[in-house]
Amino acid sequence: MKNNQTLPSELQALRENLTRQHEQELARHAKIKDQENQRLKAALNAMRDGSGEKVRTALTLEAKEDARRFFDQERVKLLQEIAELKSTKKQTDEALSNMIQADKMKAGDLRVEHQQHQEQISKIKWDCEKDIRRLVDEIKGKDRTIFALEKELESTSGYLQKLQLQKDALDEQLFLVKEAECGLGSPKREIPGRAGDGAEHCGSPDMRRNQRRMAELNATIRKLEDRNSLLGDERNELLKRVRESEKQCKPLLDKNKLLSKRNDDLTQTIQKLEEKLKSLMKENLEMCDLSGHFSSLNDLDQAHDDQEIAFLKLQVLEQQSMIDELTRVCFLYVLFICLIFQDREKLLRKKRHKRSSRPIKRHIVVDTFFGYDEESMDSETSSVASFRMDRTPATPEEDLDDSLANEESELRFRQLTREYQALQRAYALLQEQKGGLLDAEIEAKAHEQLQAEVLRYKAKIEDLEKELTLKGQDSKWVEEKQLFLRRNQELLEKVEKLESDCNRLQQELQDSKDQNELLEFRILELEERERRSPPFNHLRMHPFSEGVSALQIYCMKEGVKDVCIPDLIKLLDILGDNGNLRNEEQVAIIQASTVLSLAEKWIQQIEGTEAALHQKMMDLEIEMEMFCKQKGYLEEELDYRKQALDQAYMQIQELEATLYNALQQDKVIKYGEPLDELQRDELRTAVEKLRRQMLRKSREYDCQILQERMELLHQAHQRIRDLEDKTEIQRRQIKDLEEKFLFLFLFFSLAFILWP
C-alpha cells in the first residue's frame, strides 16, 4: 500500500529532474552557440579586413571540425537520453502493471473490509444501545439521588426555620426580661444588648438558665448553618454535574427517543401481525376441523360398521371358497368309494351268472359336484371306460368272463388306487395351503354364523337409516363437506402459487442486491484509482459521437451555457498540435482533453446505470402492487370461505347434538344387539381422543406453515428496504461524482481562459 502511494511521487520527481537537466543542456548549448557565432563573426570581420584565402580555408575546416565534433557529442548524449527514457518507460509500465494488480487486490481487500465494517457497525450499534440503556439507568439513579437529597434539604431547611423561630422567641423573652429588670432598678441604667453580659445578673437562676439555653441554641444554630452551607455547596456541585450529564446525554436521549419511537412502531406492527396470525390460525383450525371432522357419532358408527361389514364380507368369501373346495374333495372321495363298491358288485354278479344273457349296454350316471352327468366313454383315464374298452365286438362275453375276470379286476383296482392316491395328494396340498385340519361340519357352522352376523348388521344399518330418515337428517352435509374440501384444496393451490411468485420476487431482489453490491464496489475501485492515479496518464483520446454530449447537457443544466464541449476539445487538439508551445504546455493540454473525454464517458455510464436502476425499481414497485392486490383478493375469498365453513360447522354440530341426544334416550333401539353403558363410554372416549389428536396435529401443522410464511414475508420486506437504502446511497454517490466532474471541468476551463 505504501509503495503504491510513493511510486507516483517518485515518478513525478524523476520526470521533473529530467526536464530540468534538459533545460540546462539547452541553455549551455545556446551559450556555446552564441560564443561560436561571435568567434565566427570576428573571423569574418578579420577576413573582410584583408585576410587571405588560407585564413578562410583554415577557418572553414576548423568550423567543420568543430561542428562535426559538436554533432557527435550531441548525438551520443541524445542516444543516452533515449536509452534512459526507454528504461524509464519500461519501469513505468512495470510500475503501472503492478499498480493495476495492487488495485485489484485492494478491491478484494475492500470487499472483505466492507463486510467487516458492516459487522463492526452492527456490533457498535448493539454496544451503543447497551451503553444508552446503562446511561439511562445511571441518570435515573442520579435523579433518584438528587430527589432524595432535595427532600433531605427541604427537611433540614424546615428544621432550621423552626429553630430560627424558637431563637427569635427566646430573644424576645430575654429582651422583655431585661427591660423588666431595668424598670425595677435605676432609671439611668443602660439597657443591655440582646446578647448582654451574664456577669451583672449572676444572681438570678432563671437568667443563668436562659443564658445557658441561649448558648446551646447559638451553638446549634451555628452547626446548622455550617451544615446548611455544606449542603448548599453539595447541591450546587450536584446541579453542575447534572447539567453536564444532561449535556452529554442529550444526543443519547434524542437517539433513545427516536429508537423508542421506532420500537413503538415496530411493536404496533408486531401486534397487528400477531392479531392477523391469530385470525389466520383460527381460520385454519376451523378449516382443518371441517376437513378432517370425524367427531360425529353417526360418522364413527357408520365408518366402523362399513369397515366391519367389509371385513366380514372378505371372511365370508374366503370361507365360502374353502367350503367349496372341501365339498368338492369330499365328494370326489365318496365317489371313489362308490365306484369301488359298484365294481365289486359287478364282479360278484358276473361270477354268479356266467352264462347268462348279454347285459344291456348303458351309460354310467355319476353324481358330480356340478350335478348328475353321464360318464363319457372317450375318457381313457376313467376306470369304467377302461373296463369297457378292454373287449372287442367280435369276442363273446361269455367266453371272456372266466379268463379275464381276474385280470380286469386287478387293472381296475390299480386304476382306482392311482386315482385315490392323486386325491390324497390334492387333499394334503389343500391342507398345507389353508393351514390346519379342515372339518366340513365346523366350516359349515362358521359359515352359518357369519351369514347370521351379516344379516344382523344389515338389519342394524337399515334401522339406523330409517331412524335418520324419520328425524329428517339426511346425508346432504357429507356432500357439502366434500365441496368445502375441494374448495380448500383450490385455496391451497392458490397459496402455493403465491409462494412460488414470492420466491421468484425474492430471487429477483437478490439479483438486484448483487448488482448493487457490484456497482458499489466498482465505484469504490474507481474512486481509489482516481485518488492514486498520477497527474497524467498516457491515454489516447477517443472521438465523441455525433450530437450533444452528456457533459454539455449537464453544463447547460447547471447554467454554464457559454462553453461548447466539442469546440473546446477541438481547440485543445489544435493547441496540442501547435509546435510553438513548450513541452509542459502541450502535456497539460493533452491531459485536459483526456480528462474531458474520460469525464464524458463516465457521465454516460453513470446515466445508463441510473436509468437501469430506476427502471428496475419501477418494475419491482409494480410487482409489489400486483402482489398486494392478489393478497387482498385472496383475503376476501378466505373470508367468504370462512363464513361458508362456519355454517357447515354449525350444521355438523347440530347433527352431532341430535344424534347424541338420540343415543342418550332411555329407549333402546330394537335392532341387533344394543350397546351397554360401558361400550358407550369407551366409544365416547375413543371419539374424544381421536378428535383431540386430529385437532392437535392440524394446529401444529397450520402454525408451522403460517410461521414459515410470515418469516418469508418479513425477509422479503427487509430485502426491499435494504435495496431502497442502497439505491438511495448510490444516487447520492452519483450526485457527488457529478459535482466532482463539474468542478474539474470548471477548473480546466478557467485554466485555459487564464492561460498566458
Domain residue ranges in the chain: 52-264, 298-470, 476-664+681-753
Q: Give yes or no for a contact between 534 and 11, defined as CB atoms under 8 angstroms apart.
A: yes
Instruction: Report residue 538's pLDDT band, with 50, 70 and 90 as the boundaries.
Output: very low
What is the pLDDT at residue 545?
Answer: 43
Kindly state the helix (H) or strand (E) to which residue 366 belongs, with its residue range.
strand 365-368
Q: Supply the CATH classification number for the domain 52-264.
A: 1.10.287
Residues 181-201 have a mean pLDDT of 47
Which is more confidently placed, 130 or 308?
Answer: 130
Q: Which three cell numbers stand for residue 68?
A: 562535426
Does position 85 have pLDDT exceeding 80, yes or no?
yes
What is the pLDDT at residue 392?
Answer: 45
What is the pLDDT at residue 525?
Answer: 65
34-64 confidence digits (pLDDT tens): 887 788 777 777 666 655 566 667 767 777 7
What is the pLDDT at residue 445?
Answer: 72
Which is more confidently placed, 429 or 330?
Answer: 429
DSSP 372-419: EEEPPTT-SS-HHHHHHHTS-TTS-HHHHHHHHHHHHHHHHHHHHHHH
Does position 712 have pLDDT exceeding 50, yes or no?
yes
Residues 479-494 have a mean pLDDT of 70
Does position 70 have pLDDT exceeding 70, yes or no?
yes
What is the pLDDT at residue 429?
Answer: 67
Q: Is 603 exposed, middle or buried (0-12, 13-18, 19+ CB in 10 A)?
A: buried
Q: If we measure between CA atoms, which residue out of 413, 369, 363 comes closest to residue 385?
A: 363
Residues 8-27 have a mean pLDDT of 80
Q: Which of 1-5, 26-30, 369-373 has the least mean pLDDT?
A: 369-373
Residues 290-298 have a mean pLDDT of 49
Residues 710-721 have a mean pLDDT of 73
205-221 confidence digits (pLDDT tens): 777 777 777 777 778 77
What is the pLDDT at residue 669?
Answer: 43
HSE value, Cβ hemisphere, 13 Å, CA-based, for 699: 9
What is the pLDDT at residue 715?
Answer: 76
Average pLDDT value over all residues in the chain? 67
Q: What percent of the chain has pLDDT over 90?
A: 0
Q: How many CB atoms lie within 10 A of CB 521?
A: 15
DSSP 302-323: HHHHHHHHHHHHHHHHHHHHHH
Instruction: Report residue 470's pLDDT band, with 50, 70 and 90 as the boundaries.
Output: low
Which is more confidently placed, 534 or 316?
Answer: 316
Supply angle C-alpha 71, 75, 77, rounded to 5. 120
What is the pLDDT at residue 387?
Answer: 42
What is the pLDDT at residue 670?
Answer: 42
What is the pLDDT at residue 33?
Answer: 79
Which is more confidently placed, 456 or 531?
Answer: 456
Residues 326-337 have a mean pLDDT of 60
Best-predicted range by mean pLDDT (67-81, 304-318, 493-507, 676-690): 67-81
Q: If we measure between CA atoms, which residue out of 561, 565, 551 comes closest to residue 593?
A: 565
Q: If we measure between CA atoms, which residue out of 457, 450, 452 comes closest to residue 301?
A: 457
508-521 confidence digits (pLDDT tens): 667 766 766 666 66
Q: If we measure between CA atoms, which residue out of 292, 308, 294 comes closest to residue 461?
A: 308
Q: Which of 538-552, 679-693, 701-715 has the least mean pLDDT?
A: 538-552
Residues 625-640 have a mean pLDDT of 67
